[in-house]
């Protein structure tokens, strides 16, 4: 069906009946993935559990979102979901066309949104399946909502919708919007928008995507995450931190070589060469949060959604809950 879906789902920003997600109880004999190489679980971060059942053996996680008691995980090949207290992921019915690959996943209001190399798919809170947004441009690699506008990053430019996705208008064309390989970051509280392009160059915009410039971070950036005023960027050799919405950055030590970062308004997490590090103060100081992970785990992907934290280590998906 054609998408009147976006016309309705973005009107809602909260739902009193939305269920929360709960991590499954660890099986008898201790948590999956071994006894863990880190210190005991921190006060507000549970022990990680290995939960990869139902996922392809070579699944490389791209993003994580949570809606109504269910987690959604995207890979290039498709989208998978895990219900509250569940132990097995299920493939979502996403009818990708020939050659179409998933590029990003995000929750926007009460919907799960999936960008692909050919367009945009949406599953609203009340729907049972994903629907193609026919009006959306192809070649998308990121979607975000900011101040009542939808921003769709594509290989043909940055497109913006002011009518809940019914129509789209290109606001900017050219670099960094030239391929479908990139990371688009537009946290709700951010005045600044970011793109990390395929070459690892960071671009930023302070005027809602009308113009873009480089230079806020020099060097090659592997990933960038923002939450509230805090922005963390990971390079090949260090982690950079900003506490002023990305206006200035300074090196910060996570004690181990960084591989991935994830930021929320309350927490910051780092995947390292030796497990997960946790920060209670926006990345200024760090502690261990690796309980449940195998010893000396290289955590090469790390995502947070609601009260869930996902770590990808040694080919396995691990989940912990944050309280």
Domains in the chain, ordered, with CATH? 5-12+35-321 (2.130.10.10)
Q: What pLDDT does 14 receive? A: 43
pLDDT digits (tens, 9 = 90+) for 223-241: 999 988 899 999 888 899 9
Confidence label for 201 from pLDDT (cuts 50, 70 and 90): very high
Measure the N-to-C terminal CA separation of the chain; round to a whole number of Å.
40
pLDDT mean over 148-155 = 95
pLDDT mean over 46-59 = 93
168-172, Cβ contacts within 8 angstroms, sequence gap of 24 or more: 168/135, 168/136, 168/137, 170/137, 171/208, 171/209, 171/210, 172/205, 172/209, 172/210, 172/211, 172/212
Q: What pLDDT does 278 receive? A: 95
Confidence label for 301 from pLDDT (cuts 50, 70 and 90): very high
The tokens describing 103, both together, are 């590029």
Task: Give Cα 323 to chain centroid, integer Å.
Answer: 19
Q: What is the pTM of this model?
A: 0.89
Higher-confidence residue: 212 or 31?
Answer: 212
Query: Mean pLDDT in the chain?
Result: 87
Confidence label for 18 from pLDDT (cuts 50, 70 and 90): confident
R_g of the chain computed on alpha carbons: 19
Confidence label for 188 from pLDDT (cuts 50, 70 and 90): low
pLDDT value at 48 more than 80: yes
Confidence label for 17 from pLDDT (cuts 50, 70 and 90): low
pLDDT value at 168 more than 70: yes
d(CA 61, CA 104): 10
d(CA 158, CA 218): 23
pLDDT value at 30 more than 80: no
280, exposed or middle or buried, with CB in 10 Å at 0-12, 13-18, 19+? Answer: middle
Dump the DSSP string for 35-103. Answer: S-SSSSPPTTBPPPEE--TTS-TT----EEEEETTEEEEEETTEEEEEETT--S-EE----PPTT--EE
């Amino acid at each position: 069906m054609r998408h009147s879906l976006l016309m309705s789902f973005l009107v809602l920003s909260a739902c009193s009946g939305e269920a929360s997600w709960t991590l499954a109880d660890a099986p008898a004999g201790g948590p999956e993935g071994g006894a863990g190489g880190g210190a005991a679980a921190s006060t507000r971060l549970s022990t990680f559990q290995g939960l990869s059942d139902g996922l392809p053996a070579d699944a490389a996680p791209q993003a994580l979102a949570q809606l109504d008691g269910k987690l959604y995980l995207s890979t290039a090949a498709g989208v998978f979901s895990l219900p509250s207290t569940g132990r097995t992921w299920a493939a979502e019915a996403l009818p990708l066309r020939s050659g179409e690959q998933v590029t990003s996943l995000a929750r926007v209001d009460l919907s799960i949104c999936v960008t692909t190399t050919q367009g945009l798919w949406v599953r609203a809170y009340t729907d049972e399946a994903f629907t193609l947004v026919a009006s959306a441009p192809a070649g998308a690699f990121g979607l975000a909502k900011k101040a009542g506008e939808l921003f769709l990053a594509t290989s043909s430019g940055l497109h913006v919708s002011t009518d809940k996705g019914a129509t789209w208008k290109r606001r900017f064309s050219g670099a960094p919007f030239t391929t479908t390989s990139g990371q688009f970051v537009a946290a709700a509280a951010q005045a600044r928008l970011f793109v990390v392009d395929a070459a690892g160059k960071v671009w930023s915009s302070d005027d809602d995507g009308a113009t873009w410039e480089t230079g806020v971070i020099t060097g090659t950036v592997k990933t960038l995450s923002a939450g509230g005023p805090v922005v963390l960027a990971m390079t090949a050799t260090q982690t950079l931190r900003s506490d002023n919405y990305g206006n200035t950055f300074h090196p910060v030590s996570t004690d181990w070589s960084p591989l991935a970062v994830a930021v929320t308004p309350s927490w910051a997490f780092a995947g390292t060469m030796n497990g997960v590090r946790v920060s209670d103060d926006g990345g200024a100081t760090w502690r261990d949060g690796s309980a449940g992970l195998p010893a000396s785990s290289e955590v090469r992907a790390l995502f947070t959604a609601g009260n869930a934290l996902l770590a990808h280590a040694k080919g396995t998906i691990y989940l912990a809950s944050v309280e």
